[in-house]
Amino acid sequence: MPHRMKIKIYYEDTDAAGIVYYANYLRHLERARTEFMLEQGIDIAEYHGRGFIFAITHVDIRYKRPAKLGETVEITTEIAERRNARIVLKSHIVRDGVLLAEAYVTFACLDREGKPRRFPEVFRSLPGAAPAA
């Protein structure tokens, strides 16, 4: 079941035309990812303190329609792919049932030196796509 999060579009999110500036979608996706993890009982800050670094390694966004000043959009987040040291999340940004953007965000698990490491067990048991072979 995907995590759902509502986001209100504020003036600071938009360009001069009142349309969400494309790069600001990344901020919204980051918030949705963090909330998705918290819903699963994973506090990213806690793991960071234990030496687990979670770095975004790839983002693929398809913009379909604009979000505008004053609107409320909903972001759904779910696991699309899971491996030992990386997870791909699929997110949809929707307004009133209309798809505005679709994103695939890949994040990796690293140690403090920036070397890949396995995700902690709790990540490997997240609901969603089965681990890839």
| Set 13, 15, 60, 96: catalytic member | 15
Q: Which residue matches tokens 């949809």? A: 92
Please tell me the pTM assigned to this model: 0.89
- Looking at residue 79, the DSSP 8-state letter turns out to be E
> Percent of the chain at pLDDT above 70?
96
Domain edges within the chain: 3-124
Q: Is 81 exposed, middle or buried (0-12, 13-18, 19+ CB in 10 A)?
A: middle
pLDDT tens across 68-104, in order?
999 999 999 999 999 888 999 999 999 999 999 999 9
Give me the residues paired with residue 49 across strands. Answer: none
Catalytic residue at 13? no
C-alpha dihedral, 19 to 23 to 24 to 30, nearest 10°: 150
Indicate the CATH number for domain 3-124.
Answer: 3.10.129.10
pLDDT score, position 26: 95
Task: List the chain residues with pLDDT less than 70.
Answer: 129-133
